[in-house]
C-alpha cells in the first residue's frame, strides 16, 4: 500500500447524507455503518454490501475505475459480483458484470450512467441509474446476490451480462462460455480467467435466474453479435456475454439472483438454491442485517458521539470483509477442507486485523490457520498472498503466515492442531532465501523465488521476526533444538544494522547489504522500494518487535531512543499511513513514556476522517488499526502483549469466548482528554502501560481515568512535567 493522506472534504456531506438514509432502514449496530467512508476519499473501498467474511462482494463499478472498481462521482456501468477490500495495485475481480439498460449495447461505455438517490448500507445498496431511469437494489448472500431492477415502461429493457471482463480489462476470460435457458430464465457461464493482481489463472463460474421470462435473448463472442442466440463460447482471450430483453410496459420490475463459484456452474447453482431459494428481497436483507448486527455486537460502545460511532463501526465492518471463507468452494479441494482466501496480503493484515479477530472472532483465526495447514499439504507452500485460490509469493516482508500462527499460539486460540501448524512454520523456515540462510541477511538484488518486492532491509527484518515467531511456537511444543536454532537466527536483524550511518545527530540505521558484506550507500531518509518495501531507513529501523531492548541499545540507550523517536515523528520521518510504522508509536510504552504514545496515537487517529483512512484500507488493516486506537490498547502481533494509550469513549465492551465480557472504561474520555492519569485492571492498580491477552479473554474490567495533560502514570518515576509539556505542545 502506498500511503496518501488525501481526503476530498467537499464530498463529506454526501457521505453522511447517504448514511442517514441507511440508518433509517437498518437495525441495531448495522445502521451505524456507512459504506461510503473510504469510497469518497482515500481507502479504495467499495460502496456495495456483503456478509461477514463471505465469498461474494457485489458492488457497482464505474467507467474509469481504480482498484476497487468504483470512483466516486464517476458514471456507473453495472454491478459485478466480486471485489477486493481496500487494496491497491492491479485491480482484482470485477467478474460477471450485470448492466441494466434500455436498448442495445454491450460495451461498458454503452452502459455508463450517473447515479442518484444512493442508499448505501452494509446489508444493501440502492441507487437510480438516471440515464436509464432505473432503480437498482442489491442484497448480498454468502456466494451471490439478489437484485431488483425497477425499469421505466419500455419495450426494450435489458439485462446485459458481460462474462469476460474484469475491473480495468475488457477481456480477462481466456476460454469459457455462456448459456441462456429462456424458458426457465436461467443464465450460466464462466471459464478460466487471469489478469488479476495475482497473475495466476483461475476458474470462476456463475449461475443466475430472473423472475420474468425474457421477450428475447442474445449473445456475443469476440466481434460476433448474435440476436436470438442462446449460447456462445470463446477459446482465446475475447469479449463474451449475453443479454436478456424484457417488455416492461406491463411488468416494470425484474428480479435477478446470481451466485458465483470457483469450482463449477453447477456449484454456483447449488449456492443459489441454498442461499436465495425465493425472490424475497426484504427477507434476504433482514438476514444480512441480522448477520451484521451480530458480528458488530462483538464490541459495544457507549458514550461516543454519533459521528465517531459511524467511523468506529464502519472501520469494524471493514475489518470483517477479508479474508474470505471459501470452504466448500476451493477448486479441486474436498468440500470439507478449510479454505480462507483473498489474503491481499498478510503483510498488511498480520499486525492489526488478525489480532483484532483473536479477540472478537477467534474462530476466524482458527479457520485461517487450519487453512494454512491445508494449503501446505495441497500446494506445498503458504505464501503471504493467497488470492482466487492461488498462491502468490510476493515477498513484501517475509513469511507473514508465521506471524499469524505465532500470534494465535501466544493467545492459545482454540480449534487448532498446533503440531500441524508447526509444519507450516518449519517449511517456511527451511525455504527462506538461500542468502538469508547462509549469510544471515537477504542480499541486495539477490535472486530468489519470492519476487522483486523482497528487499534486503525489509526482507531480513521480516525473516528475522518470522524466525523469532517460529522459535516461540517450537519452544512451546517442546522442540528445544529447533527453538534454539531459530532464536539464534532471529538475531539476523543485526546483520543489516549499519552502525556508521548517521542523520541529524543520530547514528545507526537498518539499510540494504550487498552479498559481499558491504552496505549500500543509501541515505537514512531514503531507501523506499530500494532497500525496503515501501519504507525508508528511518521507518524500518523501528521494525524489530522481537528485540526492542536490542534496538534501543543499538540506538544509543533509552534516553537517546526517546529523543530519536520524538525527532522522527516531529519531522515526519515516520509514515503514519502505512503498515511498516503501525507498531512504532507504542514503542514509547516500552520506555516509560505512555503519554507520548497517547499524544501520537491521537495524531494518527485524526487522519481518519469521514471520507476515509489516510491510506488504502488494505483488507481491513487500517480499519482494525482504528478500532484499537479508539479502544485504548494496541497489540504487538505474534506476542500476547498489548500496549496502552487510553480509550476515546467512556465504555467499550468486548464480547469474548465463554460468554464473558472484557470491559474498558474511561472516566473523562473524549475531546482533549487523551492522556491516561491512572489505570486499574479488575480493581488493582496498573502501574505499567501493558496488559496481556489472558487478561482480555478472562473477562473483567480495565478502567482508565483520562485527562487533558500528560501525567506521571506509567513513567516509572521518570516524569518531568515541563519536558512533557514541551514534547506534547501542539504544532
pLDDT computed for residue 731 by the predictor:
58
Give residues with Cβ within 8 angstroms of 412, minimum separation 6: none
- Rg of the chain over CA atoms, in angstroms? 26
Comparing CA positions, the residue from 655, 639, 93, 606 lying closest to residue 354 is 639
Comparing CA positions, the residue from 491, 543, 496, 551 lying closest to residue 518 is 496
Give residues with Cβ within 8 angstroms of 147, minimum separation 6: 58, 79, 98, 136, 137, 138, 255, 256, 257, 258
Look at residue 3 and tell me whether its pLDDT is greater than 50.
no
Which pLDDT tens digit goes with each residue over 666-699? Answer: 999 999 999 999 999 999 999 999 999 999 999 9
- Alpha carbon distance 340, 484 (integer Å): 32
- Alpha carbon distance 65, 67 (integer Å): 7
| The C-alpha cell that represents 86 in the structure block | 481496500
Q: What is the SS3 assignment for 376?
A: helix
Other Cβ atoms less than 10 A from the Cβ of 27: the count is 13
Q: Residue 76 forms beta bridges with which residues?
A: 62, 113
Mean pLDDT of 330-352: 97
Please report, rounded to a whole number, the percentage of residues in the chain having pLDDT higher than 70: 96
Comparing CA positions, the residue from 8, 355, 224 lying closest to residue 232 is 224
Torsion sign over Cα 372, 373, 376, 381: positive
Which pLDDT tens digit goes with each residue over 402-436? Answer: 999 999 999 999 999 999 999 999 999 999 999 99
CB 132 within 8 Å of CB 97: no
**Longest C-alpha distance within the chain, in Å?**
83
Look at residue 22 and tell me whether its pLDDT is greater than 70.
no
List C-alpha distances in Å: 649 to 23, 308, 354, 661, 710: 21, 10, 23, 17, 18
Burial of 32 (0-12, 13-18, 19+ CB in 10 A): buried
Look at residue 27 and tell me whether its pLDDT is greater than 60.
no
In the 8-state DSSP scheme, what is residue 211? S
Work out the pLDDT band at 702, boundaries 50, 70, 90: very high
List C-alpha distances in Å: 439 to 445, 496, 672: 14, 11, 51
pLDDT computed for residue 576 by the predictor:
87
- Alpha carbon distance 39, 94 (integer Å): 16
Instruction: Measure CA 278 to chain center.
Output: 32
List C-alpha distances in Å: 38 to 44, 63, 124, 323: 6, 19, 17, 18
pLDDT computed for residue 20 by the predictor:
42
Terminal CA-to-CA distance of the chain, rounded, Å?
28
pLDDT computed for residue 590 by the predictor:
97
Look at residue 263 and tell me whether its pLDDT is greater than 80.
yes
Helices (H), 632-669: none
- Alpha carbon distance 498, 534 (integer Å): 19
Instruction: Measure CA 431 to chain center.
Output: 27
Comparing CA positions, the residue from 211, 214, 208 lying closest to residue 257 is 208
pLDDT computed for residue 647 by the predictor:
98
Residues listed for the chain: 731
Phi, psi of 317 (to 5 degrees): -60, -45
Give residues with Cβ within 8 angstroms of 248, minimum separation 6: 151, 152, 153, 154, 155, 157, 254
H or E element that contains 232: strand 231-234
pLDDT computed for residue 473 by the predictor:
98
- Alpha carbon distance 315, 330 (integer Å): 28
CB 72 within 8 Å of CB 39: yes
Looking only at the bridges linking them, the beta strands covering 390-392 and 385-387 are antiparallel
The CATH classification number of 9-294 equals 2.70.98.10
Comparing CA positions, the residue from 228, 251, 64 lying closest to residue 154 is 251
Work out the pLDDT band at 199, boundaries 50, 70, 90: very high
| The C-alpha cell that represents 456 in the structure block | 534486503
Other Cβ atoms less than 10 A from the Cβ of 281: the count is 18
- Alpha carbon distance 670, 649 (integer Å): 6
- Alpha carbon distance 661, 299 (integer Å): 10
Look at residue 39 and tell me whether its pLDDT is greater than 60.
yes
Q: What is the SS3 assignment for 118?
A: strand
Which pLDDT tens digit goes with each residue over 516-553? Answer: 999 999 999 999 999 999 999 999 999 999 999 999 99
pLDDT computed for residue 41 by the predictor:
87
Comparing CA positions, the residue from 67, 71, 92, 72 lying closest to residue 82 is 92
List C-alpha distances in Å: 424 to 53, 247, 496: 23, 58, 26
Look at residue 380 and tell me whether its pLDDT is greater than 70.
yes
Q: Where are the domains of the chain?
A: 9-294
Please report, rounded to a whole number, the percentage of residues in the chain having pLDDT higher than 90: 95
Strand order across the beta sheet in which 690-692 lies? 633-635, 641-644, 690-692
In the 8-state DSSP scheme, what is residue 404? H
Give residues with Cβ within 8 angstroms of 725, minimum separation 6: 709, 710
H or E element that contains 562: helix 558-570
Give residues with Cβ within 8 angstroms of 672, minimum separation 6: 708
Looking only at the bridges linking them, the beta strands covering 675-681 and 641-644 are unpaired
Look at residue 315 and tell me whether its pLDDT is greater than 50.
yes
Work out the pLDDT band at 15, boundaries 50, 70, 90: very low
Cα 227–Cα 165–Cα 73 angle in degrees, nearest 5: 105
In the 8-state DSSP scheme, what is residue 151? P
Look at residue 25 and tell me whether its pLDDT is greater than 50.
no
Mean pLDDT of 588-595: 98
| The C-alpha cell that represents 48 in the structure block | 456495495
Which pLDDT tens digit goes with each residue over 76-91? Answer: 999 999 999 999 999 9
Mean pLDDT of 156-169: 97
For the stretch 338-357, what's the b/e string if a residue is b when 16 or more beta carbons lie within 10 angstroms of its beta carbon?
bbbbbbbbbbbbbbbbbbbb
| The C-alpha cell that represents 671 in the structure block | 475531546
Average pLDDT, the chain: 95
Q: Residue 140 forms beta bridges with which residues?
A: 145
Q: Hey, what's the torsion of the CAs at 75, 81, 85, 86, to 10 degrees? A: -20
Amino acid at each position: 500500500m502506498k500511503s496518501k493522506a488525501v481526503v476530498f472534504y467537499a464530498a463529506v456531506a454526501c457521505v453522511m447524507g447517504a448514511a442517514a438514509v441507511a440508518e433509517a432502514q437498518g437495525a441495531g449496530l448495522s445502521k451505524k455503518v456507512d459504506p461510503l467512508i473510504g469510497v469518497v476519499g482515500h481507502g479504495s473501498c467499495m460502496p456495495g454490501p456483503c456478509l461477514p467474511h463471505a465469498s461474494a462482494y457485489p458492488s457497482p463499478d464505474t467507467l474509469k475505475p481504480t482498484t476497487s472498481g468504483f470512483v466516486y462521482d464517476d458514471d456507473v456501468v453495472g454491478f459485478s459480483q466480486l471485489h477486493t477490500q481496500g487494496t491497491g495495485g492491479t485491480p482484482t475481480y470485477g467478474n460477471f458484470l450485470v448492466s441494466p439498460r434500455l436498448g442495445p449495447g454491450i460495451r461498458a461505455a454503452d452502459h455508463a450512467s450517473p447515479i442518484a438517490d444512493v442508499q448505501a448500507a452494509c446489508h444493501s445498496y440502492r441507487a437510480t441509474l438516471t440515464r436509464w431511469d432505473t432503480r437498482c437494489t442489491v442484497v448480498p448472500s454468502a456466494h451471490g446476490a439478489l437484485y431488483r431492477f425497477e425499469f421505466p415502461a419500455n419495450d426494450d429493457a435489458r439485462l446485459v451480462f458481460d462474462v469476460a471482463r474484469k475491473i480495468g480489462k475488457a477481456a480477462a476470460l481466456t476460454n469459457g462460455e455462456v448459456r441462456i435457458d429462456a424458458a426457465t430464465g436461467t443464465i450460466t457461464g464462466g471459464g478460466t480467467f487471469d489478469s488479476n493482481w495475482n497473475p495466476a489463472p483461475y476458474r470462476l463460474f456463475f449461475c443466475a435466474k430472473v423472475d420474468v421470462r425474457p421477450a428475447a435473448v442474445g449473445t456475443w463472442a469476440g466481434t460476433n453479435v448474435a440476436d436470438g442466440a442462446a449460447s456462445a463460447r470463446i477459446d482465446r482471450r475475447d469479449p463474451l456475454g449475453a443479454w436478456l430483453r424484457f417488455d416492461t410496459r406491463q411488468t416494470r420490475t425484474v428480479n435477478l439472483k446470481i451466485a458465483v463459484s470457483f469450482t463449477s456452474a453447477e456449484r454456483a447453482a447449488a449456492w443459489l438454491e441454498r442461499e436465495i431459494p425465493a425472490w424475497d428481497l426484504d427477507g434476504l436483507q433482514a438476514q444480512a442485517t441480522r448477520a451484521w448486527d451480530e458480528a458488530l455486537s462483538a464490541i459495544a460502545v457507549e458514550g461516543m458521539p454519533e459521528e465517531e460511532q459511524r467511523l468506529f463501526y464502519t472501520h469494524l465492518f471493514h475489518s470483517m470483509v477479508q479474508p474470505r471463507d471459501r470452504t466448500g468452494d476451493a477448486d479441486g479441494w474436498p468440500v470439507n477442507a478449510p479454505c480462507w482466501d483473498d489474503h491481499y496480503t498478510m503483510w498488511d493484515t498480520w499486525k492489526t486485523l488478525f489480532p483484532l479477530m483473536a479477540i472478537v472472532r477467534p474462530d476466524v483465526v482458527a479457520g485461517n490457520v487450519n487453512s494454512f495447514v491445508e494449503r501446505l499439504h495441497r500446494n506445498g507452500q503458504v505464501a503471504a498472498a493467497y488470492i482466487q485460490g492461488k498462491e502468490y509469493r510476493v515477498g513484501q516482508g517475509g513469511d507473514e503466515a508465521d506471524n499469524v500462527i505465532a500470534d494465535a499460539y501466544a493467545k492459545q486460540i482454540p480449534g487448532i492442531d498446533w503440531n500441524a501448524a508447526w509444519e507450516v512454520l518449519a517449511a517456511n523456515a527451511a525455504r527462506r532465501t538461500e542468502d538469508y540462510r547462509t549469510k544471515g541477511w537477504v542480499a541486495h538484488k539477490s535472486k530468489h523465488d519470492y519476487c522483486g518486492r523482497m528487499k534486503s532491509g525489509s526482507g531480513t527484518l521480516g525473516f528475522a521476526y518470522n524466525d523469532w515467531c517460529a522459535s516461540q511456537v517450537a519452544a512451546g511444543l517442546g522442540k528445544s533444538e529447533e527453538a534454539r536454532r531459530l532464536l539464534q537466527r532471529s538475531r539476523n536483524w543485526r546483520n543489516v544494522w549499519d552502525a556508521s550511518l548517521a542523520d541529524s545527530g543520530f547514528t545507526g540505521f537498518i539499510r540494504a547489504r550487498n552479498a559481499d558484506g558491504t552496505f549500500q550507500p543509501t541515505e537514512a531518509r531514503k531507501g523506499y522500494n530500494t532497500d525496503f518495501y515501501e519504507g525508508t531507513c528511518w521507518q524500518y529501523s523501528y521494525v524489530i518487535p522481537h528485540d526492542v531492548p536490542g534496538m534501543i541499545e543499538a540506538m544509543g540507550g533509552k534516553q537517546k531512543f526517546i529523543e530519536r523517536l520524538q525527532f522522527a515523528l516531529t519531522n515526519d520521518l515516520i509514515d503514519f499511513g502505512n503498515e511498516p510504522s503501525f507498531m512504532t508509536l507504542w514503542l514509547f510504552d516500552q520506555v516509560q513514556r505512555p503519554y507520548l504514545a497517547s499524544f501520537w496515537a491521537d495524531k494518527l487517529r485524526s487522519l481518519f476522517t469521514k471520507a476515509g483512512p489516510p491510506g488504502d484500507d488494505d483488507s481491513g488493516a487500517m480499519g482494525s488499526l482504528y478500532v484499537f486506537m479508539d479502544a485504548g490498547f494496541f497489540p504487538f502481533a505474534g506476542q500476547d502483549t498489548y500496549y496502552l494509550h487510553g480509550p476515546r469513549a467512556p465504555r467499550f465492551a468486548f464480547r469474548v469466548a465463554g460468554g464473558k465480557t472484557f470491559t474498558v472504561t474511561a472516566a473523562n474520555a473524549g475531546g482533549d482528554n487523551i492522556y491516561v492519569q491512572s489505570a486499574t485492571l479488575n480493581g488493582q492498580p496498573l502501574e505499567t502501560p501493558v496488559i496481556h491477552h489472558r487478561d482480555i479473554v478472562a473477562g473483567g474490567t480495565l478502567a482508565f481515568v483520562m485527562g487533558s495533560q500528560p501525567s506521571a502514570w506509567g513513567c516509572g518515576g521518570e516524569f518531568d512535567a515541563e519536558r512533557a509539556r514541551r514534547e506534547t505542545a501542539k504544532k
